[in-house]
Amino acid sequence: MKTAEFYRGISLPEEAIELLEKVKDTDEKEMKVLFQNNREAFYKNILKRENPWLSFLYYYSQMACDTWEEYKKRGISEKIYWDTFSDFTIWCQNCKEETGKYGLRQYEWLFRHIDMTLFRLGRLQFEAFPSEWNLTYGEYTIKKGEDVIYVHIPQGAPLAKVECEKAFKEAFSMLGKEKAYICHSWLLGPELSEILDENSNIGKFRSFFHVVFRDYDTREAEERIFKMVQENVSVYPETTSLQRAAKQFLMEGGHLGNGVGILKESCLNCR
């Protein structure tokens, strides 16, 4: 696939495409080899450049084009290809909003798409990856290092229950039901139950999982809810009902963490 087709296929902004088409690259092959053989050296090479975020978008797009033939060989649909790599556009637009420049800052997240370990199926993303924890729910046990399917929630459309059920059904068809499906997200943070209506979209998403572990290693919830992290929580915006509820909770001394959940068996029969 040609990069021009890829750029437009994932609906990159025209201004970003114009910048990418001006990139003069003489080491594309060497950089692709470096990406495969020494990921950290690849990152360091690009981070030294004048515009590293645009360079990441350029090289990642080149390598995304290379995966097109492998998608076809595996019989994976064109729709899944475009849906999966549309993540580049989401993060490119976020980069523009945050830095004033087009590019990709989440390079340590987006390699999964190129490695073909992550696919977007409808509203959700699914990634084959070893479990980072020992997890137990009743008699059900997942050992650290055991192969599982991670469920991720991409930025974008409302998290409607029916769309999530469709995504799970598609995942079971493509990836099977043999491996456990787990989710590590701020959306499963235990404190959200105190500030959210259980009938909200997020509340319904939470109901898909048994939450078995929690952590407070990051402030991802605040970053996602408010689009920023501030030490003085009183400055957080109150535009949405979730922002208002979360801000009040934080102002009262609460903390928002992440949760790890195991997909309930009842969800294995999503309609």
User: Which tokens go with 198?
Assistant: 């259980």
Domain limits for position 150: 118-271
| Boundary of a domain, candidates 71, 87, 116 | 116
Which pLDDT value is given to residue 15? 97
Provide, rounded to the nearest whole percent, the portion of the chain with pLDDT above 70. Answer: 99
pTM for the full model? 0.92
Distances (CA, A) of 261 to 60, 175, 183, 198, 206: 31, 19, 5, 16, 9
> pLDDT tens, 182-230?
999 999 998 888 888 888 999 999 999 999 988 888 898 998 899 889 9
Q: Cα(221)–Cα(56) distance, rounded to whole angstroms?
A: 26
* Residues 110, 124 within the same domain: no
Contact (Cβ atoms closer than 8 angstroms) between residue 106 and residue 91: yes
Q: Is the same domain home to 258 and 192?
A: yes
Looking at the structure, tell me whether residues 141 and 128 fall in a common domain. yes
pLDDT at 176 over 80: yes
Query: Nearest to residue 180, comparing CAs of 144, 156, 216?
Result: 144
Residues in the chain: 271
Dist. CA 94–CA 103, nearest whole Å: 9
Per the CB < 8 A criterion, the answer to whether 153 and 126 are in contact is: no
Tell me which amino acid residue 268 is: L
| CATH code of 182's domain | 3.40.630.120
Instruction: Find the mean pLDDT for residues 106-119.
Output: 97
